[in-house]
Amino acid sequence: MRAHVVLAEWLLVPRALGFSSDANGGFRYDDGDLTAAASIDPRTQHFEIQRAERRDSDSDSTSFGRRRKAESSARAKLCRMVGQVSAPPRGVVILDFGAQYSQLIARRTREARVYSEILPYDASWAEIEKRNPAAIILTGGPESTLGPDSPGMDPRILKSGIPLLGICYGMQLIARDLGGELVPLGHAEFGPAQLENDAPQSSLFAGIPATSRVWMSHGDSVVTPPAGFTSLAHTARCAIAAIGDEKRKIFGVQFHPEVVHSEFGKSVIENFLHGIAGIDGSWEMDSFVDRSIAEIRARVGDARVICALSGGVDSAVAATLVARAIGQQLTCVFVDTGLLRKDEAKNVIEAFRDVLHLNVIAIDATERFMARLAGVVDPEEKRIRIGHEFIAIFEEESNKIDDVRFLVQGTLYPDVIESKTPGSKAGHKIKSHHNVGGLPETMKLELLEPLRTLFKDEVRKAGAVLGLPPAIVARQPFPGPGLAVRILGAVDAQRVATVRQADDIVTTEIEAVADSLTPRPWQYFAVLTPLQSVGVMGDGRTYADLVAVRAITSEDGMTADWARLPHELLERISTRIVNEVQGVNRIAYDITSKPPATVEWE
């Protein structure tokens, strides 16, 4: 990876940082801790950091990983000192054809330390080319390549010479556009399958066993590969499960290597990235942070910005990232919707003012939100009304501050994908998120979403790079609409109080033993259902509410499994809720994974 600094900024660097010219027309830097070599690219006129090292690193170490980490740290330090990073490292463009798990492909590339960016399937060649990708990946999708209006791609992609990998729909698209033959299956193939590796010599399947488990999800199949391609693998129901043209570096797999159900899928992706495309795998979260700070500065300029604080890790990291970029130009607005967890408003205000030292305006809007939600039962309508009320409040506050142009939100990649925004044109919408699909069509403020391309675990890593305390970085996720989407049916003050008290019991009991649980639960909460049931309490008949308990394990929130909590723990939770929360006489535990369910009940 090379870090790039805009040449105009470089003119101030020698005096400020102590760079000096070397005998070869390049530049050198040495401050006793950090050494670097650099030059100016004659084509782009960018100042390029070609080598960066810390003196305390072991340059002769046999650990490539330690040397690479030290170099990345050195580059990041130098880029922060210069203060302007202009371009991301050369990486992968992922063309999204609407698969719900397209973002998992991006996640797998980043796990391989390769920068990736998702573009809509119909992105022009100009949009792709300006990113200078080292490789392109075509995702799966819900449509059929045999349909008359099936999504396609710019034909110049296949002629570009850039290494290309098609997954599921992407493989079928490559085969169709290059003259292969496809047919619809009599019965679609969904779920696990045994993959037989027919080409162990193939660079795509290097190190992959002769037989392995993969995950299939397709209704069409390639029966004749295009000219120049060979069949690389098959399953019992799919005669051609992978194809490749080693000379042109174009490959396709019918299975989904990005999901954990494909046991060697990660290796297949890494073979493509490192072995075929030749990408070195040097992207770090430091790179993202530095680039984001530069992009925020460039976009915001001298304008004022307000940030919507929710109390969760997403808004905390987003606010801190923006504050690093523009300092006192940022004002944070914390809105108490009346839908927060127990003591959350007080704790959040103290954390952001006293720990992060941000400028925070606190607003108690409980009555406004309760009025907006009165009588609303439909979960989609709840999210939309909450989103609209948030924006109304922020626009009101922005009118009190001169020259406010931007609103910061902690929108993440899963929010974008599930809401099916224009960035994922072919996808099928799952639900609106209040900070994506719940926004009004017209609003006075421009959105600033610095975390929009990150997954939850990557946000935590960014928070650690920014120096946020563990108490903030490690907080469990909490939905933007708050407890409103943990109350099935109408929302009122009494029902909010009920679910808040039950949720506090769930949280307190699980967190008391969470570090001893394997795997550690990712998220846990209570849900107030609209169901009531007969019970007996104190020798008397009751007819009271049913509360559901939800606890999941996950890596990124896009897929999840229900947590296997010890029975003793579930017993304590159940006993406490029934005894301490008025109006509840029955507890149920949710044992549904995602998919088919979502994490939240609404």
What is the token pair recorded at 411? 């929108």
**256: annotated active-site residue:** yes
Q: CA 443 to CA 440: how far, in whole Å?
A: 6
Cis ω for the linkage preceding 595 (within 30 of 0): yes
> If we measure between CA atoms, which residue out of 439, 408, 391 comes closest to residue 296?
408
Q: Say which residues have a Cβ less than 8 Å from residue 378's Cβ, sequence separation at least 6.
A: none
H/E stretch holding 314: helix 313-326
| Dist CA 251 CA 225 (whole Å) | 11
Tokens of 130: 């300006």
348 burial via Cβ count (<10 Å: 0-12, 13-18, 19+): buried
| Amino acid type, 98 | G
What DSSP letter does each residue of 141-194 carry, written as one string?
-SS-TTSTT-----THHHHS---EEEETHHHHHHHHHTT-EEEEEEEEEEEEEE
Q: How far apart are CA 129 and CA 131, in angstroms?
A: 5
141, 173 in Cβ contact below 8 A? no
Q: Which of 508, 507, 488, 484 is nearest to 496 (CA)?
A: 484
Q: Which of 53, 71, 258, 418 is catalytic?
A: 258
Catalytic residue among 46, 234, 256, 433: 256
Helix (H) or strand (E) holding 87: none
Q: Where would I find the beta strands (DSSP E) of 344-423?
A: 360-364, 404-408
Catalytic residue chosen out of the listed positions 46, 53, 71, 168: 168
**Radius of gyration of the chain, Cα coordinates, nearest whole angstrom:** 26
Please, which residues have CB within 8 angstroms of residue 431's CB and are 6 or more apart in sequence?
379, 380, 383, 418, 419, 437, 598
Calculate helix-pair angle for 379-398, 366-373, nearest 10 degrees.
140
Task: Enumerate the active-site residues.
Answer: 168, 256, 258
